[in-house]
Amino acid sequence: MAFEMWGYQFEGAFSSADMLKASSGVYVIWCEEGKNWKVLDVGEAGDVKARVTNHDRADCWRSNCSGTIRYSATYTSGMTEEQRRQIEQSIRSQANPPCGEV
């Protein structure tokens, strides 16, 4: 599955973080409640899969979602950490997620 949002191509949104790649990128954590979706969190990592599967904000995701938590990522091979942070900040400013900060 793939979709475009905020000008980036994402893979997902998967029901398991195990479906994410162990690659650098920007991840978006979603809450699916029926037909409604909301962004719970946005972040960047050198290894998206490892970061999301062991995330320190997972409790925040669960407390802000009464539906299904879903995981997506746009992969950024060749980009620096600073470039990934710029993408994260851009998405955060548009989505205003309840978990995490810029």
Domain range list for the chain: 2-95
Q: For the chain, give the mean pLDDT.
A: 95
Closest CA relative to residue 99, chosen from 54, 63, 72, 49: 63
Span 20-30, average pLDDT = 98
CATH 3.40.50.700 matches 2-95: no
| pLDDT digit string, tens, across residues 71-85 | 999 999 899 999 999
pLDDT for 66 equals: 96
pLDDT for 102 equals: 54
Q: Does pTM top 0.85 for this prediction?
A: yes
Span 43-66, average pLDDT = 96
